[in-house]
Amino acid sequence: MKKLTNPLMMALVSMVCLSACGGAPEETAEEAALPDPSSAVLSRDRVPGEVSASWTANCAGWENGARTCSWRCRSSSEWMWATQSVAYGQCNAYANNFCGLNAHATCWSSNSHP
């Protein structure tokens, strides 16, 4: 039997499998209605000042001197960042813990603290 290594065949097989399962999951109304960032910051036993929110993040990277752990919980949520020190290598874990799930995006940003 011939192996299915042709990229076109692989794409076709993937599409068939997805359509058999009903396709990719759609966002529910609950996910689409994001909470107000100020209430999200104060929820989950957080204290004011531990996290800030912004519409953008300057993801410069640790190697370029950025030292602020920044993240987005969902693709449609705004950027947030820790106002406390987060150790190198711990940004993903910090963001995932805050979001309660895997953060959509994390980076080291050079945003100044307000």
Q: What's the pLDDT score for residue 58?
A: 82
**Residue 34, CA distances (Å) to 8, 46, 74, 77, 98 in order:** 38, 18, 9, 7, 15
What's residue 32's pLDDT? 39
E strand intervals along 1-114: 51-54, 68-72, 79-82, 105-109
- The dihedral region occupied by 65, where left means phi > 0, alpha psi between -120 and 50, and beta the remainder, is left
Query: Collapsing DSSP states into helix, strand and coil, what is residue 58?
Result: coil
Q: What is the pLDDT along the chain (114 residues), one digit of tens a residue?
A: 455 466 666 666 666 555 555 544 444 334 433 334 433 343 344 445 556 555 567 889 999 999 999 999 999 998 898 988 999 999 999 999 999 999 999 999 987 655
